[in-house]
Chain A
Amino acid sequence: MDQLLPPEIVEAGQTFPAALAACGDLDALLRLKGAFVGREASHATRLMELLKTAPKEQKRELGAAINGLKQQWEEGLKARQAELEAAKRKLGALAATWDPALPPPQPPRGALHPLNRLMDRLVEVFRPMGFHVEEGPEVETEAHNFDGLNIPEDHPAKASSDTFYLAAHPELLLRTHTSPVQVRTLLRVAPDLAARGGIRFLAPGRVYRKDEIDPTHSPMFHQVEGMLVGHGIGMQHLKGTLEYALRALFGPDTEIRLRPSYFPFVEPGCEVDVSCPLCGARGCRVCKGSGWVEILGAGLIHPNVLAYAGIDPKEWSGWAFGMGVERMAMMLSQTPDLRLFFENDQRFLKAMGGLD
């Protein structure tokens, strides 16, 4: 009987069950229905035309075949339609008797990296005091990374055991701190510093030191640098700013403590502790029972740093601080291993990062 039918229709008929099963919704089914039994240009209409022009002696047999085929198609379509409608009804029923305990479709939710989040938070905290963000390149010159910061020619940090250098450009290195941004910014603003009324900024960014990767060391990490230059700036202003910022960060009851220390680019220099934000200074594992946690290094900008940038240290003065972001993140989150921050496991990022 099949030899009476055009081969493409025979083939279409053979693929019909699969096509039927592939229809995932009523729209798709409707399209399939159109192609097979539609009123225009469908397989069925073609078959009817075939029947009209067929020799009389074949009409009977062909008619039976066509009817069989059409019936098979229509029944298939009808059954599939019933299935799809049932599914739709089921969905409707689900919607009608909604169980709020069923896991709902969840809009996607990613996360910012916790280190970026912490840096953003610091910017937010300093913003109301008029600080903006300055940035600089990670590939730096020795001049910006060391010389402009009053770091002596023979300082051990310059050694290739501590600092990464570029093979093809021996004068270039990967910055070892965000402090070169100080140098770049001061050099840029020096000519119109008076018109600006000094400058105050944060410089968050990535820095590199030649440390092996272990639970507390990473060859790449993040710092946030802060700097303020103005008239008559002293240690009281450093203390006042940090007190405001660290209270905004850790809570209004936070106390801060300045201790003398030494960094070549500041004088006087200090380290700053905060009352332990985890135990409220009662003493815990994080503050080793002392109630204090070291949070950053700071001081008044060394006159040589201002002079290097062409700023008269007799007229201008200022303060600067530098803070390790990973250290702070690990302390606040009690993350046991620094490497987790660079592994980027989505489970860690989701749990630690959040959206803002």
Chain B
Amino acid sequence: MWIERKVLAQEIPASAELDTRQLCEVLAALGFPVDGVATLEGTEALDVDITANRGDAMSHRGIARELAAKLQQPLAPIATGLVSEGAALVPVRLEAEACPIYATAVLALGEGVTPEVAQSFLRALEASPKRLPAVDASNELLLRYGHPTHAFDADAIRGAVAVRWAKAGETLVTLDGVTRTLMERDLLIADEAGPIALAGVMGGDRTKVTEATRRVLLESAWFEPKVVRATARRHSLHTDASHRFGRGADPAMARVARDLLVARLQAWCQAKLIGAWTAGAVPVPAAPVELEMALLARVAGEIVTLEAAQEALTRLGCAVTAAGDRLRVVSPTWRHDLAIAEDLAEEVLRLRGYEHLPSVLPPMEGPPEHLAPAYLLRQRVARRLAQLGFHQTVTYGFISPEADALFASADNPAAGRTLANPLGYEYSVLRASLLPSLKTTAEQNLRQGSRLVQLFELAPAYRSTPAGPLEQVALAAVWGGVLGGEDYLSPARAVLEADLAGLARDLELPGLPTIHRLADGLFGFEIELEALPRPQDRIIPVFRPFSRFPSVERDLSLLVDLGQSYAALHQAMSAALPAGSLLELRCVDVFRHKSLPEGQQAWLLRMRFQADRTLVGDEVDGWVAAALVAAESLGARLRA
């Protein structure tokens, strides 16, 4: 809220002695940081950030009160007892507990407009003056003292006034011209012809003050914060009044604000007071809250004397009595946020300044816990992928239904994963797979000139279940573009499915995941993180003896059908060899060319043999021959 320094100084003269920077620092130390400073209407104003629990501070008077307590300087007095009350001119019935007090007055308006100084104050605080003294005075009072009031056209009111709960279906045209259908939990002000205001939120159109208004009926009441908040929310009607009442106004200000409003109208437009009266009374304060000194010492980190605590709370307006090792504290009528001992402890520390808090490392009371294996696994995988050239992405968890459908399985309907109130259609479904997001991101990178795109993401993917979306952390990787060709030694080639298969092997996936062709030359796979092998419990594996004898390498070039299964061939050839003799059998080259017989390809197979002795050529020749026979049984033949 904007606080004008000139008006603040009228409430607490000592504030004028602080320069802006000092004032900002004092306010920040009290819990009211200043977000900005501006010169408005020729005077300096501070944009003070006031937290939602401090309805009492949402005015110049409220901020002044805080400064007075901190600086130990007096507040300017508020003139009270300006208005003597008499009999009710119009009966006011309080029919709901949510309104315990309703102070009012009826005045006959005279000639005159809102004085320039008040208009300028309103303009500076971005509240445009209406040039109707009754309306402007009410607004000025709200910004200055934090108490919302309202002026009705007294001649538009029919019969007695009641503060009551709405009846379902009742309607009210509010000041903004909108017809509101009320609900039973809406508190309203009504006359005998029906609703005339939404209590604490907004007045009604039928009884509004206009240029033609001759007599006004003032309202200065107090409404239960919860009730006002609910009504404001139900009708999406957030006003300065609902903001203050909703965060807790001061019931003791009801009469005072009425008196101040009367005095302003008398001064601004020669209004004549016809009568003033109050229905109800300021509610009895809540039971005192006890603050034990032991709790205060625990929160503060050091002993705070009973006297110091008592003094601090008294400065804030609390009624404090000492009782042994504790204080009994009744909060002032304007504070609704002091409900438990911890609240009071905070007040003592706040007034003293958090800069005085000691700084201590908390002692360990038990052994530290390990990092969870699933967490460590994610860290390990992310680092490995980054080392392999992949970039970790962070994309939104919700995508469009079309994008989601690309990779969602049939048993994972989007309906169970759809948001009720998405930002937009394109962000409406919790994704079943990370691949749509990665595909989009990869294509964007390629479009923007990336020669090679390598991306991965570790994030939850969602599965619809009757109990709601089940999330499982998934790993998705996409790879596309051109590999190599960027230096004089590395040949260039396109990324292929096989590269993704190699990546899957590097990550020690138990099998080959489905490799999706996401676009021309762009491939990807996705797995549940659960599928990855967990880091072993052992720090290092059990020792397994290994042969120190040199291995022997033999290559076989085989002609096989284009449809030949490599796995079957590999299996057959391995099986034909004595157990333990074959260290490795791998295909190191594939040759497909017109020069080969039609429908055939050449595979260059490399076999590595090893034993616990030096291998002799004849023995190895025998093994190679056996492996060849096994290969031939599948239709392969030796290529010359």
Contact = CB atoms under 8 A, between A and B. Distances in A.
A31 B555 CA distance: 12
B487 A139 contact: no
B340 A116 contact: no
B357 A112 contact: no
A293 interface: no
Interface stretch (B151-159, B278-286, B299-307): B299-307
Contact of B393 (A113, A138, A167): A113
B387 A168 contact: no
Main secondary structure of the interface of A (DSSP, over half): mixed
A110 B595 contact: no
A210 B428 CA distance: 12
A314 to B, nearest CB: 9
Contacts of B464: 168
Contact of B397 (A113, A154, A220): A220
Interface in A166-200: 166-170, 172, 174, 195-200
Given A235-B301, A262-B31, A344-B441, A132 B397 contact: no
Interface string B343-375: 101100110001101111111111111111001
Interface string B70-111: 000000000000000000000000000000000000000000
The size class of the interface chain A forms with chain B is: 35 or more
Interface stretch (B132-140, B310-318, B445-453, B534-542): B445-453
B415 interface: yes
A261 B423 CA distance: 30
Contacts of A232: 298
A27 B421 CA distance: 64
A110 B388 contact: yes
A94 B489 CA distance: 10
Contacts of A230: 362-363, 365
Contacts of A16: 595
Contacts of B359: 236, 239-240, 243
Given A15-B594, A19-B593, A197 B375 contact: no
A259 B29 contact: yes
Contacts, number: 285
B595 to A, nearest CB: 5
B389 A108 contact: yes
Contacts of A206: 394, 397, 459
Contacts of A268: 299, 342, 345-346, 349-350
Interface in B584-624: 589, 591, 593-595, 602
B468 A166 contact: yes
A332 B526 CA distance: 33
Contact of A237 (B362, B382, B388): B362
Contacts of B346: 260, 267-269
Contacts of B393: 113, 344, 349
A115 B343 CA distance: 36
A75 interface: no
A206 B422 CA distance: 17
Contacts of A108: 387-389, 454
Given A139-B430, A168-B415, A106 B51 contact: no
A164 interface: yes
B416 interface: yes
A327 interface: no
Nearest to B33: A259
B423 A349 contact: no
A167 to B, nearest CB: 4
B387 A355 contact: yes
Instruction: Specify which of A15, A195, A237 lies most central, judged by the most chain B CB atoms within 10 Å of its CB.
Output: A237
Nearest to B389: A108
B361 to A, nearest CB: 5
A271 B33 contact: yes
A164 B423 CA distance: 9
A267 B340 CA distance: 9
Interface in A301-356: 302-303, 317, 341-346, 349-350, 353, 355-356
A167 B419 contact: yes
B349 A165 contact: no
B394 A353 contact: no
A222 B394 CA distance: 10
B354 A270 contact: yes
A171 B349 CA distance: 39
B487 A103 contact: yes
A252 B278 CA distance: 62
Interface stretch (B2-10, B225-233, B254-262, B571-579): B225-233
A26 interface: no
A116 B474 CA distance: 16
Contacts of A161: 421
Interface in A277-293: none
A69 interface: no
Nearest to B36: A288
Interface in A80-138: 91, 94, 102-106, 108-113, 115-116, 120, 123, 129-133, 135, 137-138
B337 to A, nearest CB: 8
A323 B545 CA distance: 52
15 contacts: A31-B591, A102-B487, A113-B394, A139-B469, A156-B233, A197-B364, A228-B362, A235-B357, A236-B301, A239-B301, A244-B361, A262-B52, A344-B391, A353-B386, A353-B391
Given A108-B389, A200-B368, A356-B383, 6 more contacts: A174-B397, A234-B300, A235-B299, A239-B359, A344-B391, A349-B391
Q: List the 6 closest A-B pairs by CB distance, nearest first.
A: A197-B366, A236-B301, A108-B389, A260-B31, A268-B346, A197-B365
